[in-house]
Structure 1
Amino acid sequence: MIKAVIFDMDGVLIDSEIIYLNHMYEKLKLKYPQINREALFAVVGSTTKRTMEIVSDVIGEDVDSHTFQELYAGLWADCRPDYPSILRKEVPEILKELHRRGYQVALASSTSRAGIEDVLTSCGLKDDFDYIVSGEEFKESKPNPEIYLHTADTLKREPKECLVVEDSTYGIMAGHGAGMTVASIIDDRFGFDRSLADYSINGLWEVLDVLEELNSR
């Protein structure tokens, strides 16, 4: 029986990934006009380390860690999305409904702790989660399943008692690797591989349908 629901943040609670991708593309294009936007799709949902590798491939130059950190910081210095405007409108109600039905609710995102705090505070959601964790707190983030296993352990739940709500290839891999049931938001803009997801959903209200099906078995 599912007793806890663990959400990813970017692409699941907020439609931020297209904003980040376009911002990264426009910034990089100033220095590397040859860059291809579609080639950057692979960075969506990836770790900072993997993003460095992808950017190096896309621009056709090896980028060392120090140079990349400077470049990466510069990319986001003036990126300030209006998070409430890109919050999925059903999020506040779905979180309340999950609590009403007795589920534990957690957030496990590859985004930095500061980034998570910024989103949750501006959207008024900080008190709606029983546990919040950032991928930067682990040696390896998604697709490594550690972030999800840690979250389940903190909630005192077995992996089989957890439903993960994801969107990206790496996030789905992490949830699957943790031995959890995975529901993936359908988003065909970035070529995500959903083959390891147990369910594909069009919106967050469908999480309730998934839970009802799983818990009726």
Structure 2
Amino acid sequence: MIRAVIFDMDGVLVDSEMLYLNLRYQFAKGKNPEVTLEELYPTVGRSSEGSWGIVAKAVDNGMTWQELLAEYKEKVVVTYPSMDFTEVFRKEAPDVLRKLQEKGLRLALASSNGLAIVEKIIRDNGIRDFFEVVVSGESFRKSKPDPEIYIHTAAALGIDTKDCLVAEDSTAGITAAHLAGMQVAAVIDDRFGFDRSLADFEVEKIMDIPDIPILSGKEVSSAKA
């Protein structure tokens, strides 16, 4: 029985993937004017190594992905606290979270983003109090698709992983939740070519999450709903 719903943040509660993609693009273009936005689309929803390996290949200036990422953090990530994320916040999110709580479900957030920016986004958008547990990927040695962040979040809730449903969008996130032994609801986003084959359910928008059969008491007859 599902007792908790764990949300990813970027791409699920906030439509921030294009925002981050454009920031990476502007940074990469500063290193090599011939870099195209299309080259960097595959960076979305990957681990740091996966994303910045693609950036390093596109930039092709002799810098390693680690060096590029370190400079990006120094020059770009430090500006995140001054950015306004309310414009990319999914306005339906509070209603979704409220409906899930009304079903008696416990809520948590597990994001690959840094804790400071996660807290800023959920506080600025008025949803911090919905979550019993907020976990950042910066606390772990490996990032999604490694399942550690989801296993840790379930443990922090005191709930078995099999009793958790995760709302995710990216290939890495879906894989991480699946490997953690959780049910997965994939929010469909066809802009970035995410592989949703490991998801148990697919939803067009987050408003559909409270109506997923496994949360509504209906029998589940197929892997996708």
TM-score, reference length from structure 2 = 0.89
Deviation sequence 1:74-98 (CA, Å, 0-9, x none):
2334455422221111101111111
1:34 Cα offset (Å): 1.5
Change (3 A) 1:68 1:213: closer
Mapping of 1:10-159 within 5 angstroms? 10-64=10-64, 65-66=66-67, 68-78=69-79, 80-159=82-161
User: Normalising to structure 1: TM-score of the pair?
Assistant: 0.92
Aligned length: 217
Paired with 1:72 and 1:9, the residues of 2 have a C-alpha distance of 19
Matched-pair contact (CA < 8 Å) for 1:52–1:63:
no
1:67 Cα deviation from its structure 2 partner = 5.0
Distance (whole Å) between structure 2 residues aligned to residue 182 and residue 214 of structure 1? 15
Deviation string for 1:162-197 (max 9, x for gaps)?
101000110011011111111111111111111111
Aligned-partner Cα distance in 1 for 2:40–2:128 = 31
- State whether residues 31 and 61 of structure 2, in contact with CA within 8 Å, keep that contact through their aligned partners in structure 1: no
Corresponding position of 2:166: 164
In structure 1, C-alpha distance between the alignment counterparts of 2:192 and 2:52, rounded to whole Å: 18
> 1 CA distance for matches of 2:76 and 2:24?
6
Query: For residues 214 and 141 of structure 1, do their structure 2 counterparts lie closer, same or farther at Cα, with a shift above 3 Å needed?
Result: farther
* Matched residue SS, 1:197: coil
Structure 1: which amino acid aligns with 2:74?
A: A
Shift of 1:50: 2.9
Contact 1:2 1:214 in 2 (8 A): no
> Superposed, which structure 2 residues align to 1:184-195 within 5 Å?
184-195=186-197
Q: CA offset at residue 212 of structure 1?
A: 4.4
1:6–1:105: 8 Å Cα contact kept in structure 2? yes
- The offset of 1:23, in angstroms, is 2.1
CA RMSD in angstroms comes to 1.8
Distance (Å, rounded) in 2 between the aligned partners of 1:67 and 1:183:
33
1-structure distance, mates of 2:198, 2:62:
32
Q: Distance in 2 between matches of 1:28 and 1:60?
A: 10
Compared with structure 1, are the counterparts of its residues 73 and 46 closer, same or farther at alpha carbon in structure 2 (3 Å cutoff)? farther
SS class of match (1:205)? helix
Residues 62/193 of structure 1: CA separation in 2 closer, same or farther (3 Å cut): farther
Structure 1: gaps (5+ residues) = none
User: Can you give the 5+ residue segments of structure 2 that lack an aligned partner in the other structure?
Assistant: 220-225
Structure 1 distance, partners of 2:123, 2:200, is 31
Alpha carbons 1:2, 1:211 under 8 Å: kept: no
Q: CA deviation at 1:66?
A: 4.2
